[in-house]
Structure 1
Amino acid sequence: MISPRIEIDLAKIEHNARTLVTRLSGRGIDVTGVTKAVLGSPEVAKAMLAGGVARLGDSRIDNLEALRDAGIQAPLTLLRSPTPEQADRAVACAGISQVSELEVVKALSVAAGRRGVTHGLVLMVELGDLREGVLPGDVLDLARRLSRTPHVTLAGLGSNLACRAGVVPSTDNMGELSALATLLEGELGLHLPIISGGNSANLAWAMKAPAGRVNDLRLGESILLGCDPLTRMPLSGLHTDAFILVVPVIESLAKPTVPRGATGEAAFGAPTPMRERGTIIQTIASIGRQDVDPDGLTPPGGVSVLAASSDHLVLETPHRLAPGTELRFGLDYSALLRAMTSPFVVTTLATTKRPLVPRVDSGTAAKLDALRTNLSRITPRVSAAR
């Protein structure tokens, strides 16, 4: 039986990683490759490492454990604070954890002491996006407490923007993070080796503004999908098709465009609006909302997504397609995240020998230039963590 699958081109991921590592190295910034969207795939992690990322990061302890079990020895960072009960697992698989609560730090201290190691901490700072992190005014006090805690060491400061509220990384908020790092070093007499400015949404800032003390970015979406999360536009020179969702057709029939009979709530709330357009070819692919975010799919040319239930993707196609015909879709971050998590979507790996350099048409290039020039006026879309 043919199942929906994601085809992963490892060479394109390696290319994207290398391109971003090269560009950021000129700004004094290392890259942490983030694997959470691919469930800690060791193969994708190895492609990132081959592309030159300094370390790997993931928000799920299970994924970090999978990387270690696969024999990956690169430095690993836990990108979400563990609970106190998870401290021992965090210390066992990661060298660094992002933290913001003293109780968690104490649990990590106990776990590290039990294992006879020193565990690194990146203290997260809230800079306006209202996800995780302590307020700037509380950073010094908490950092002082961390510096006195045995078996852990304050390895740096971090922040996260453009995730919950869509706050754009800027000279102001990145400058505030840099100033806090300098303050802590002066007050506590220590050196902070990692100042992690944020995620893929930081790229536009990093390419045009002085980096200050920021020397690390945690990149997932930009490496995997080759786009800027603030605008969803392709990043110059990067592949946007390293992941392709392939789904078989299970029905393709001529049908009317409006329903017949009284209507109420559909499976996922209000039904999709429909207008009378006569008869169309309605094609169903064997995937649904349980497996993928249908709003994040880019269908093949001439095909449009009409609706999705839990296990059916309803499409309009130019002509009837035989059952079993495979359709290929592009994915955005939300669609990739959900599809990689579904047990009903399999993954296949490929490595093109010599991936072509991606080309950007002149119209897209002009849009990119305009977006970069006017970034301060852009209101970014709120999205999941990248």
Structure 2
Amino acid sequence: MATLTINTKKIIDNIQKLNLYLSENNIEWTLVTKMLCGHKEVFENIITDKSIKNVHSIGDSRISNLKTIKEISPKIVTMYLKPPTLNQVKNVIKYTDISLNSSFKTIEKLNTEAEKQGKKHRIIVMIEMGELREGILREDILIFYEKIFKLKNIETIGIGTNLGCMYGVEPTYDKLIQLSLYARLIEARFNKKLELISGGSSITLPLISKGKVPKGINHFRIGEAALLGLSPLNNKKFRNLSTSTIEFNADILELNKKEIEPDGIIGDGNVGHTSDLEFDEDIKKTYRCIVDFGQLDVDVNNLQLKDKKLQLVGTTSDMTVYDLGKDKGKYSVGSQVHYMVNYTSTTRLMNSRYITKKII
């Protein structure tokens, strides 16, 4: 059975290392758990560990996941990582302590609901810095903050931006210093202190040691580095973090020597995807194995085979085929094919109820 193994001990070790490194650089951080898709046992292992006490908050973009976190540990500070929809305002106030926002209409609704629930809700205002995802326009910053500072049940604790997620705009020193300067402008204009200048994520981590993160940036939102040990800036291991935290294995359910070309009329009704493999002219048959996962579970292009001998032939809804060449080697029915995962494949696999989750 295809199995995703999550080593929570190694993830906790990564969290501890990030705690130390970021505290040395006077940066607070939010552990982003989107990749874990609300898996309760994984949450229980991680957020009940003592290392979480040194993390500013736990962030997620799904209310149901933050609800699970609050059920496990009510005192943990939770952060909702995308601007709320109006129909989720009640739950945002109920299950989250902080939310990222870019719409005054939504913030007004949050203020009203917070008053109903007898709470003060904290917000970080997201600023558009070139990535063209969420964020208010820079020319509107002062007017926007002037309005939200008047809301009695909203505590505006910061300013933030998103970089590197959609178009891949890199978090350069120039971008980050602009964000920091906007924060200083707001503080000077309204005589209020912004607690968090949230301009960093896993993609920004390698910039710290290069001196390319302005001192004013004091908060990062980190998921991939903590959970996979990688920075998406270069897709490489970050410092001394473990990159063997999450691994994927699939079982071989068939292995036979087969023709390298399909036989028959090829129509347009197929739901699968195939690769264009090249073979020497004298090769007519090769060994091919089928493993027990498919497109319903993950995009195979986001998996990296540990055995470079195998070549992807194609994938369908629930099976994937690999070519082993003229020699089947160590493989047989019941053997496993081993993969390294990335952020996208881990999230898809965690979200698939057809994939077994093994928690260590």
Q: Same fold (TM over 0.5)?
A: yes
CA distance in 1, matches of 2:238, 2:312: 26
Residue equivalent to 1:329: 339
1:338 equivalent to 2:348? Answer: yes
Residue equivalent to 1:303: 310
Q: Please, what is the CA RMSD of the aligned residues?
A: 1.9
Would the aligned equivalents of 1:10 and 1:349 in 2 still touch at CA under 8 Å? yes
Which shows bigger deviation, 150-159 or 202-211? Answer: 202-211
1:221 equivalent to 2:224? Answer: yes
Within 5 Å, give how 1:236-385 maps onto structure 2. Answer: 236-265=239-268, 267-268=270-271, 271-277=274-280, 278=283, 279-301=285-307, 302-317=309-324, 318-319=327-328, 321-350=331-360
1:112 equivalent to 2:105? Answer: no
CA distance in 2, matches of 1:60, 1:140: 30
CA distance in 1, matches of 2:48, 2:208: 23
Instruction: Give 1:137 shift.
Output: 1.1
Distance 1:267-1:192 versus aligned 2 partners, 3 A rule: farther
Residue equivalent to 1:189: 191
Alpha-carbon deviations, 1:282-311, whole Å to 9, x = none? 111110111012111122323333321111
Would the aligned equivalents of 2:48 and 2:73 in 1 still touch at CA under 8 Å? no
Q: Any unmatched runs of 5+ in structure 1?
A: 351-386
Alpha-carbon deviations, 1:326-382, whole Å to 9, x = none? 3322111111010001111121111xxxxxxxxxxxxxxxxxxxxxxxxxxxxxxxx
Using structure 1 for the length normalisation, give the TM-score. Answer: 0.85
Would the aligned equivalents of 1:291 and 1:339 in 2 still touch at CA under 8 Å? yes
Of 70, 73, 88 in structure 2, the residue corresponding to residue 71 of structure 1 is: 73
What is the identity, as a one-letter code, of the residue corresponding to 1:25?
Answer: S
What is the identity, as a one-letter code, of the residue corresponding to 1:299?
Answer: L
CA distance in 1, matches of 2:11, 2:155: 33
Which shows bigger deviation, 313-322 or 189-198? Answer: 313-322
Distance 1:72-1:314 versus aligned 2 partners, 3 A rule: farther
Residue equivalent to 2:129: 127
Would the aligned equivalents of 1:91 and 1:111 in 2 still touch at CA under 8 Å? yes
Which shows bigger deviation, 280-289 or 206-215? Answer: 206-215
Which shows bigger deviation, 209-218 or 338-347? Answer: 209-218
Counterpart secondary structure, 1:154: strand
CA distance in 1, matches of 2:357, 2:214: 38
Residue equivalent to 2:16: 18
Residue equivalent to 2:57: 55
What is the identity, as a one-letter code, of the residue corresponding to 2:51?
Answer: A
CA distance in 2, matches of 1:47, 1:160: 29
CA distance in 1, matches of 2:193, 2:222: 24
Using structure 2 for the length normalisation, give the TM-score. Answer: 0.91
Q: Any unmatched runs of 5+ in structure 2?
A: none
